[in-house]
Amino acid sequence: MQCKDIPDETFLDSVRKTPTTPGTTWRMRWDVQATLETALGPIPDNLFLAKARQLHRKGKLGGCPCGCRGDLHLPKECRPNPHCCGQ
Angle between helices 45-57 and 8-17 (to 10 degrees): 100
Smallest separation (angstroms) from Zn ion to the CB of 25: 8
Which residues contribute to the site for Zn ion (CB under 5 A)? 62, 64, 66, 68-69, 78, 84-85
Which phi-psi region, left, alpha or beta, contains residue 45 (left: φ > 0; alpha: ψ -120 to 50)?
Answer: alpha
Nearer to Zn ion, 42 or 68 (CB): 68
Q: In angstroms, what is the minimal distance from the CB of 18 to Zn ion?
A: 15
Nearer to Zn ion, 37 or 83 (CB): 83
CB of 46 to Zn ion, least distance (A): 15
Which residues of 2-73 form beta strands (DSSP E)?
27-28, 62-63, 71-73
